Amino acid sequence: MTSIKEISLDQATGSLILADDVTNVHGQVLVNAGTPLRREIIAFLAKHGIATVKVRTTSPAKNTELSTVTNLISAGTRLKMVQTMQNAFRNHSGIAAHLPYMRECIDEVIGELSMQENLLIYLSDIRQQGGYLYGHCVDVGVFAVAFGMAMGLPRDDIYVLGLGGLLHDYGKTRVPGEILEKNCRLTPDEFEQVKKHTSFGYNILRIETHVDSRIALMALQHHERPDGRGYPWGIGDDKIHPLARIVAVADVYDALITDRVYRPRIPAHEALGIINAGAGTQFDPKVVEAVNKIIVPYYIGSAVKLDNGTTGAVLRINTLEPARPVVWTREGIINLLRERNLQIVAVV
Ligand SMILES: [Fe+2]
């Protein structure tokens, strides 16, 4: 688990990473967050009279068995985010006026997630208020921040990632509403129009609004795939921006676990199975690895069947491997974290 602590500069060593930008008395950035505290950096900061710095520390992961899992973000923050996105999508005068509110929302999300002792995405995090599009953008923003944190990204990347998640589908404001709201299969021509939301989003964000290029790239590339079978360009593997790869997984996972007009939601464990099956072809395996660390695919109390034929109920979640919980059965309690030869095969 990664935490942030303030240390005096004489305690700094090369193995520590700066958690925040270090600025001088005029507010000018001397060294960026994410920089390792090498000897020359420490000397440079000392020369500028810096006495303390904030660093990220990573302690070895240890398991905790949880009998309850809290929501990722508070109901108040979520409601504020949905309203912010509703305003942004409905007001066609321009996205620029809404960006400060979105930044505020992402700051709150990062603040709330940083306070969590165990960063886990539980099923109760998928409740959506408002229209699908706004709720989806909020979920993708929150999930992307959580995935970025699980991957140990620097704060600046996580912040940009959250904004990119909120805005990834903004290009849909230029796709006819009757196509987006259609409750049956799209014609090939309609699908071609929907695909354009990626380049529409890029144009609005980068060319018309001049936001950070990474945010615009997340809008452009979140449907690209490592195997080159995505859209709009079908660019493969290393050409997809690393942050767009994270939004791609958050986007698909959230779409799968949410009710749509043309199909009901898919249970979280099945959605996670689909994400895992797409590692390396549809999704970046490094992102999938992080997702497996934090998504809790079973409700506490849900009835499950193991591959030895035993049925039982999920009793506690193992934070180290949320997909391998502690299961109560008639024969006794089975901790799947330790019983590696057993696995859940169905929710019954
Ligand atoms: Fe999209």
pLDDT at residue 41 in the model = 87
pLDDT at residue 305 in the model = 96
What average pLDDT values come out for the chain (348 residues) when binned by 10 residues? 78 77 87 82 90 77 84 89 91 84 94 87 60 85 95 91 96 90 87 95 91 96 96 91 97 89 85 96 96 93 94 95 95 94 93
pLDDT at residue 62 in the model = 84
Find out whether the peptide bond into 36 is cis, omega within 30 degrees of 0: no
Residue 102 CA to ligand 1 center (angstroms) comes to 19
pLDDT at residue 69 in the model = 81
Residue 219 CA to ligand 1 center (angstroms) comes to 7
pLDDT at residue 92 in the model = 65
pLDDT at residue 183 in the model = 80
pLDDT at residue 205 in the model = 93
216, 201 contact by CB (below 8 A): yes
Query: For the purposes of burial, counting CB atoms within 10 Å of the CB of 231, is it exposed (0-12), middle (13-18) or buried (19 or more)?
Result: middle
Residue positions counted in the chain: 348
pLDDT at residue 277 in the model = 97
Residue 255 CA to ligand 1 center (angstroms) comes to 10
pLDDT at residue 110 in the model = 92
Inter-axis angle of helices 242-256 and 213-221, nearest 10: 50
Q: Which residues surround ligand 1, an ion (CB under 5 A)?
A: 169
Residue 326 CA to ligand 1 center (angstroms) comes to 36
155, 20 contact by CB (below 8 A): yes
